[in-house]
Structure 1
Amino acid sequence: MEASMFHPLLLLLLLIIIILISSSSYAAAASSSYPPRYSLTRGKSLSVQNNKDDLIVSPNAVFTAGFHQTGQNAYVFGIWFTQKPASVVWMANRDEPVNGKKSKLSLQKDGNLVLIDAGQHVIWSTKTQSKSSSLELKLNNTGNLVLVIQHEQHVLWQSFDYPTDTLLPNQLFTRNTQLVSSRSSTNRSSGYYKLIFDHDSILRLIYDNLETTSNYWPDPRKRTYYAGRFEYIDTRTAQLDSYGMFNSTDGFSFTTTDYGQLGPQRMMRLDTDGNVRAYTLLQAEAGIGMKWEVTWQAISQICRIDGTCGPNSLCTYSRYGRICTCLHGFKMVHSQDWSAGCEPDQSMDCNKLEDGGCDFIALPYTEFYGYDIRFHVNTTLDACMKDCLHDNNCRGFNFAYLSDKGFFCFLKSSLHNGYQNGVYGTIYIKFPTRLASSFNNRKAVGRTSFTCPRPPIVTQLARPYEKINNTRPLGFMLVVGCTIGFIEIVCILFFWYCTSKHSSTSDQMYFPASTGFRKFTYHELKKASCNFSEEIGKGGSSVVYKARLKDNRIAAIKKLKNSGEQGEDEFQAEISTIGRMNHMNLVETWGYCAEGKHRLVVYEYMENGSLANNLRLGKLDWATRFKIVIGTAKGLAYLHEECLEWVLHCDVKPHNILLDGSYNPKVGDFGLSKRWDRGGSDQWKFSVMRGTRGYMAPEWVLNLAITSKVDVYSYGVVVLEMITGRGPGDGSRLIDWVRGRWAANEGDVIDGSVRGEYDPVMMENLVRIALQCTEEDSEARPTMSNVVNMLLEM
């Protein structure tokens, strides 16, 4: 009786504690005031719920950092000019806004600055570490948010190194930084326009969407020298100073219209329309308030900006500014987004004569920039038309005259970056004859055009929390507390029932009890990997991320992409196989996660990555390569002959041989492996082939008996690849090449990038062993234990 009453009493006590804590916490939050801070110290946080008060202010009060609302219940942590009209100049999480409640920015005890969403997920972090007691987050007078160790004046991280769409005075712009426009005036997520230093050291504006990438400033029609730029400069930096002068190492510079004044607040921004402008905060014309005035812009003809109106449309000017219109026979794809362009409102296929054939519509003083089919000089209009009519991919062509080329045309398979009211020839667009006949020569384009203001688009986020009732806080919290308490009771009872009745069954469903791994939660691994942000490897069915566990061990987390039956089979094979292995040349596994659809495996982190990557970079000397040859052989010999249950790896290749900090090899990735009883025959049965093309033994293709010799064959191909530096091709190609040159004594097969001296006799023996491993007849191949013995006797 007493035992049965214990759980209800405990739950009742828990419910009372929850109600009291919730009520007191709310009352404290409602009554407290948050004066502006000048720094954030270790263990402290800024809360999104107090975004109007919980702020960091620069000493000169020009800049403010805190949570800024970008949509309904959507917030970013950013920096803005304090004086109205406030303008946001930097954002930490522009592409992943956080919830308007329970989210916070915290400077953790390990020195990492993290932004945590309402669901306790890490949205963004600085990935810093420090044990210094003087660590703090400060906002400088320049608008630079810095994480600094005060007593050393050592900056661990600063926002100036990670600009979004704005450059502030004296903020250095380098080859490692870029400005990315916002999607629109109401959507601050990353847009399609970028300001970068290109590979030729030129400061450029580029348009980069999901389908195409192009540069449009400086004018691509001009050679960079004639545009006043200098290519291939070693240093790539640019900066706007406090007086309004901008200088870049490629020779580009400008001064603002108010150059020379030190006092005004300035900024340089890549705007949503793809133009870079400098702004100064000045007194409004009416004398009331302030406003941001444009004091310089990169492009005066904004229709020249790529992607302005999207494909199949034209950009024109009016007294109201830029106007986008669809071509004749086209309609807008998205009614409030011109970047998607226009699509046909009927079939445009005119290449069948029975449908009436094709004709052309001429649009004078119009250009669609670029060509991708053919370019003809000293030609005629009829010749260009015939060429386009006979090419099913041709959508039209530009026809113009230049003094040095005569009449010329270039054929296009798509119509992008249309610009009207120019002076660059005529565009001839291919249409079905039935559609061309309805064309009105006085109206070059269709009727679709938006010139009236559109309603703002806000970002909608799920709101998992109820709104706060400011007039009855305690009553509200009492209801919330009771609800939470009831949910807690239901969850605890359900958990107790499941664990007492079904826990053993569910555990055995995935893993044998003898594995001894630690079972991680998905939330735990997501936090350890900073929301799976640092990718260190990728395969056909998985992605590997770097993570730091709670005990500070660096781990590699393999996340399976395929949650179906095949992915589940690979996951089961890997876990059940690794759980029975313990060898210095096999990757050590620390745990797993099987939660809902998520399947993850946690390994030790290998500092020097895969053998494949090291071979590609040519970083390995001969002594290191030979050490890898022996270590890999030992690991495979252990799998084949020393495990409690023998294991066939099935996918031996350089990508699955990992190197630790001392370049010791460890075989990993057992998703395709197969176990069998030591007492059984040395043959496996497979329903499908396993492995990677180029490393697979002939038995797989010829449908012969599969034994441990398939791993021996793959190992031999890997050794030949390490010796020659050549990829396997289809496997037999590399083997035949080495065998032929070796038998004919036609020269050295050793990789030219191998550094360090090697014994020719030892090398000859190693090639002989590798060729023996890759014999077509599996019976002629040695076992892996024989290979180890031969290597050790060399």
Structure 2
Amino acid sequence: MAVSLMLHVPLLLYLFFHSSSSSHNSRFSLSVEKPEYVILSQNGVFSAGFYLVGENAYVFSIWFTQTHAVVWTANRDRPINGKRSSLSIDRTGNLVLSDAGQYKVWSTDTTSSLSTQLILNNSGNLVLCEHQSRGSKILWQSFDSPTDTLLPGQQLTRYTKLVSARSETNNSSGFYKLIFDDENVLTLLYDGRDVSSKYWPPPWLVSWEAERSTYDSSRIAVLDPLGRFSSTDMYNFTTSDYGVLIQRRLKLDPDGNIRVYSLHNNQWEVTWQAISDACIVHGLCGADSTCKYDPREGRKCSCLPGYRVKNHSDWSYGCEPMFQLPRGRNESTFIKLPYVELYGYEFFHKKNITYGECERECLKDYECKSFQYSIESKDGLFGCYTKGVMLNGHHSPSFRGATYLRVPKNLSNDGSFHTVEEESAQENGHVCLVKLERVYSKRHVSSFVKFFLWFSVAIGVAEVLLIFIIWCSLIRTKHRSSGNQQGYNFLSPFGFKRFTYSELKQATKGFTEEIGRGSGGIVYKGALVDQRIAAIKKLNNNIVGAKQEEREFLAEVRIIGRLNHMNLIEMWGYCAEGKHRLLVYEYLEKGSLAENLKSNTLDWTKRYNIALGTARCLAYLHEECLEWILHCDIKPHNILLDSNYQPKVADFGLSKLQNRHDQNSQSFSMIRGTRGYMAPEWLFNQKITSKVDVYSYGIVMLEMITGRSPTMMGIQNDEGEETQSRSLVTWVRDKRKKTTSEEGPSSWSWVEQIIDTTIISEYGVEKRKMETLAKVTIECVEEDRDTRPSMSQVVEMLQSHEDDAS
């Protein structure tokens, strides 16, 4: 890839030279033979010029100067020659890209009799404008013809679309498009060689079920500079680093997924993506194949049994059979593929049907290649789907059914099946061979030969065991001192360190400076060898458990260490040595929310920002992580504040990690949480969901608003007399009910009754923020978990106040 050099002022003057006569166009030309000459935006963020994409193949592109990430290309499907090619403005005011001085590859198709100029704006927009007496007029701009990327402020409209690249190394047009469809809905479309289909939003949902609106025909979508995306079909989201003014780009990637990339420490990080399961995207693995997604290993394509890949360098071509499809009913048999779904393109569909009837329906049709037999999600009845083409194969443990592949019986020969190979590939496109299990007929072996073979094997096994026992005894002492080295190797690739117990003991000066404690353990302040100040949590032995739980501890530490959110405390490392289990976190200067509430150091703006930041973090844990994570102990002591009073959720000692496909399972062996903050589900042995964190969050917010403890307390009546103790939630509900019945449905009147007077006297009143926060909070502490909002809904409600205020 060519490294472009920034233009200095004299060169800019040359490129943007204007003739003395205003009736002629400017003489601008950029040569491919000097790719180091680029057009530079005034702020230096963006560059435009010739970009090398292959051997003697160039395109004219715009890219981020610092990282060379391309955001727009003029001729992505027609690269030009590295000799005598140029970009120039002709005398008619047309910006033309010429190949080898012979023919036009691309142009803006503009005309002007006035002086024209090509400018790269600070927003990354390349603009061709003409100079008039009253100013300048835009003739053409790159923002009106995006390729696969939207920059902040650039609109996607009914007249534009994003088209993915073919692959990570081939920037030509691919098969995936982001468009507004005929119903005004923002849609992801697979437009393949033979078929096309919509896959996002889920095609089996109507627009309102997908929470989209079809009524606004203006069709505009835009990402703002702070990381908020809004669309006229009501599809809105915010990036995980929302609110920070940094470089961002929204890109339709070659795998058919939309992602927002943010630049942190000179590295592009994904701060939002539309699809979490990559295999939902249509056409990734081509026809006659299946796609399987694992959060740790990524996407994997595999041919169906008896099929082989067509193109070893491009999986979109799919697979082809290594047999002739049988014509007669008696010549066919079926191979069961559990948890495999082939979406769309059915010959026949019928509900409430037996397996035998479904199989016979497929056998009736010579072109039927397979059938799917699965439980309908709405009514629980079995449905039959026969397939003439096998597209969009997806292997998912949550799929309640199976696909039955039609193959010829003559694959069997004298009771012995031939080996059929199934070709598979990881995301990098490398193809490997995986043998399917088949049953083989056995040859007759004499009893003497069997005895001799078994005797030889027994002697060999005994020798191996003896050597193994001696080897283990020699290294046992070393293993005791070094801890679980296997766990270290397992964790180290994810960027955090395995400390020894002696290192952490020295860092904390013998665990002397205690800065907090809870049911999970005690937290100490320490200084690491690299001079970083850390918070080191020493877990209680009853939390650690027996030795056999060490693997589970390491697995959970690995998952927590991979989490990344601006409102989530950062873990630097861990210790798993003997009976000792310690976690090493970043140290936050302002301490816990509990300490700050006690000292009354938080004004209303800080409290509102803490509520919003905490909600964003919990929404991330519940809905955006690859694993489903419940914190289970949200309280002021576990919300820490940095030097800017930004909240960071901490203490995962009681958290629960589950598979996203198994969220409804009842797998909690004990009650988790802190008295006063626990949801009613814990006490009544009900199903535990993410709504337990929502309830605890609501209690914390009530504590911030009222200044009162959530546990049982004495409350004074209107005459100042002490009444019976009640919980904070009960007291707030009674105040709301009484005030509403006496003064009507005024939102402020009941809020005024519960606000801590010391906060008002110290910081005054911010009515709109307090009303919004109180309204959201009272919804979070509903007894019925189904009526509580999700954390993402809480974020939307709190953000809507900020948007209205702005």
For normalisation by structure 1, the TM-score amounts to: 0.50
Structure of higher RCO (CA pairs closer than 8 Å, 6+ residues apart): 1
For normalisation by structure 2, the TM-score amounts to: 0.49
